[in-house]
Chain A
Amino acid sequence: GESVGLHLPTLSVQEGDNSIINCAYSNSASDYFIWYKQESGKGPQFIIDIRSNMDKRQGQRVTVLLNKTVKHLSLQIAATQPGDSAVYFCAESSGNAGKSTFGDGTTLTVKP
């Protein structure tokens, strides 16, 4: 079956540093990838997405990179702030499959 996983369960960075959160997926048919941020006690919040016909997409302070060759996805957060502290999930969906398959999550802690 398909699976989505993250390389590290926790990541701690200093305020102002850049953060990189990684994710590996197994389903080569996946064509849509999403990064979600989940703060304590809240639902997943959309951050940025990327389709399989792209290898990079930038948002405000965030960049998602997709390497289909090695089935790897990463989220880069520039100038990380304390408000970025949360659990980050990558998720994928494929074609007409409406569901999102989530990875395990990386807990990002930003130290002041």
Chain B
Amino acid sequence: EPEVTQTPSHQVTQMGQEVILRCVPISNHLYFYWYRQILGQKVEFLVSFYNNEISEKSEIFDDQFSVERPDGSNFTLKIRSTKLEDSAMYFCASSVKRGGETQYFGPGTRLLVL
């Protein structure tokens, strides 16, 4: 069964450093998403992406964040200058359609900012 994959599974970084989280969505999916989950809290939407453009973003997704689809398979989330409060699990998801369709989640990247 096709699945969303994410790398790395864990990332430890120093505050102020840049990190890039990588995702490979399911191959026939057209819509891509990033979510984050701070330990013990609910999953929060960050950004959605379609046709090489951001479709929607939340208040969390400020100028420090960016997304890119550098090739036909990868979807990345970059945090330019990490802060302590960026420590969380980051989940990538993809779906065939935009609204009202199942989103399939990857296993997540656990980011720890020291």
Contact = CB atoms under 8 A, between A and B. Distances in A.
B99 A97 contact: yes
B42 A102 contact: yes
Contacts, number: 67
Interface of A: 31-32, 34, 36, 41-46, 49, 51, 89, 91, 93-105
Interface of B: 4, 31, 33, 35, 41-45, 48, 50, 55-56, 58, 91, 93, 95, 98-108
Contacts of A91: 43
B98 A98 contact: yes
A43 B46 CA distance: 15
B79 to A, nearest CB: 19
A44 B108 CA distance: 9
Given A32-B100, A89-B43, A100-B103, A43 B55 contact: no
A89 B99 contact: no
Contact of B56 (A51, A99, A103): A99
Given A32-B99, A100-B45, A105-B42, A45 B56 contact: no
Nearest to B43: A102
Contacts of B4: 43
B31, B56, B93, B105 pick with most chain A CB within 10 angstroms: B105
A34 B105 CA distance: 13
Contacts of B99: 32, 93-98
Contacts of A94: 99
21 contacts: A32-B101, A41-B108, A42-B107, A43-B91, A43-B107, A46-B103, A89-B42, A89-B43, A93-B100, A96-B99, A97-B56, A97-B99, A98-B48, A98-B50, A98-B55, A98-B95, A98-B98, A100-B33, A100-B43, A101-B45, A102-B43
